[in-house]
Each structure stands twice: as C-alpha cells, then as structure tokens.
Amino acid sequence: MRQIAFRQALREAMQEEMRRDNRIYLMGEEVAQYNGAYKVSQGMLDEFGPKRVIDTPIAELGFAGIAVGSAMNGCRPIVEFMTWNFAVLAFDQIVNSAAKMRAMSAGQFGNPIVFRGPSGSAGQLGAQHSQVFESWMANVPGLKVISPSNPYDAKGLLKSAILDEDPICFMESEMMYGDMGEVPEEEYYIPIGKADVKRAGTDVTLISFNKMMKVALAAAEELEKEGISAEVIDLRTIRPLDMQTIIESVKKTNRVVIVEESWPFGAVCTEIAYRIQKDAFDYLDAPIRRVNGADSSMHYAPNLVAAYLPDTTKVVKVVKEILYR
C-alpha cells in the first residue's frame, strides 16, 4: 500500500468530497494563495477556485460566524483554524451558535460544519500556542470531537466528518503533518464514534489519542521487553466516546492507564475513568491511573517542555506501579 503524509491524507479527504458536492467549501487564514499554513490545502485553490477555497482575514470569530450562517442556508463549510489556540476567539460561534442551532430551531436548521486545525503543543511555542482543546469542545452538547493519530484514520474520519449533519471539531497536530502512513488509493470512510485497538495485550490497557498515541505505543514496546503485555486503544473520536471497546479491554486486562497531553483537571481521562469505575469497577485489579501534561502553562525552555509533556518513561513508570504495587 502507498505511504502518504498526514497533510496529504487530509487534503485528499477534502478534495474527494468537494469534487462530489459543490456545496462544500474551505475557508481560513492562508488556505488559498499560500496553500495553507501547513500546506494541507496545497493545490486546492487551483482546482476549486477562489469561491470554494477562500482566504480570510485574521478574524476567527467573523469567519466562524460566516460558516454558521452559510451552513444554515445549505452549504457545508470546512473551516481551518491556523491553530485551535486562535479558535478561542471563535468559541462564541462554535459553542453558542453551531452547537446549539439544531436544538434551538427545533431541528429546522442543521449546522454541518467541520472546524479543523492543529491542537496541542508543537515544540517551543510558549504558553499561548501549546494548549489542548479536545476536552473543552467535548464538554459541549451538540458538538462532535475527532482527534486522529495517523494518516489512515485522519483521511477516513475527515471524510465522514464532512458528510456528517452536525458540527464537528477536528483536532490535528502540527507535529504530525509530516508523518507518513499507509493510506489506500481506493475510497473509504471510518465511522465516527468507534475507537481502534492499535495493539492487543493482556496485562494493562493504555488509552490515548492524537500524538500521545506515539507515546502510548512506544511505552507498550518498552513494556514488552520486560514481559508486560499492553493493549493500546486509540480513541480517535472523543465525543461520542466508544466506551464499549474500552470496557471490553478492561475486562481482559484489569488495569488502565490513560495518556493525555492536556491539563489533568477536567480532562478527557477524567470522564473515561468515571465511566470505567461506573460500568466495570468489579473488573479492576488496581486504581485507574493517568499520565497528563503538567497542571501549569507550558513554558518556552526545552527542559520545561520535556518536563511538562507525557513521555514513554513516565508511562512505563505508572504501569509498573499498578502492576507491582
């Protein structure tokens, strides 16, 4: 199977759906003339023209509002934020308009929008450009939240998101745009709301998403060297959350460690831990543990970035603590 970059997988997903449906358009800062800040939309202006690949001013609230209004009137926008850190300015439209429009209009107006762009840290970018927003958006009824970890999942999930009738927050990572992965040339879709077991195991379940999947998989490899079998689950979709796959794994391994980049208070891992203890408490042989980013702002210095983020060593340490306590 061919290998393509994460950014190309996203581009192909948008191109395939835009060729099929002329109601779909892409807009955001630098998506057209510059071919995208991360070159995700490279060549799309040439193919689809300036009415469907639209450069916007630096005004996230404004163009998110345009997307909401156009979706209410039959269009299917894809909104690219240069980073979800900037999308904070557009939360009024995402949270108060897009997420609530179907409920407030008694189903008369849908809001089929994909809000997409990178979330999380990307090296030494400082506190205002290194935040993780999956848990923020997943807290809002009416929004779906997708956070893929590889090119194959990214393409299949983005195609499904573009066709979905609800507003979707599609969280990517600047650090993964160049990642290579196997992606078939034939068309495919991945259903929203279905997690994926990336690695089977019997001793502990590691749960993660987005670029922290690299940490979880690397930790599983290190644990295997010591005879510890770790099952690794990629959530892929944060809301709706696939608890069935998680519970089935817990019944098999009896131990859980959740690896998440975001701050620990009110994180995705908190919801997962609550649901596991509610529905599978009797299967647990040890407390549910989590490895999160530090409960602080991320600073610029490289040693502080390393101290802030989850890594393989931290995950392996926590797994051993629940296995050998």
DSSP H helices in the chain? 6-20, 44-48, 60-72, 84-87, 91, 101-104, 134-138, 151-163, 212-224, 243-253, 268-280, 302-308, 312-323
Residue type (1 letter), 167: P
* Active-site residue (options: 12, 17, 60, 260): 60
The yes-or-no answer on residue 129 being catalytic is yes
Distance CA 32, CA 55 (A): 5
Q: Report which DSSP code applies to 207.
A: E
Residue carrying the six token digits 């689950």: 233
The yes-or-no answer on residue 299 being catalytic is no
Pick from 262, 273, 259: nearest CA to 318: 259
* Active-site residue (options: 17, 29, 80, 129): 129
Distance CA 139, CA 257 (A): 22
Residues 110 and 164 sit within 8 Å (Cβ to Cβ): no
Residues 126 and 298 sit within 8 Å (Cβ to Cβ): yes
Active site residues: 60, 129
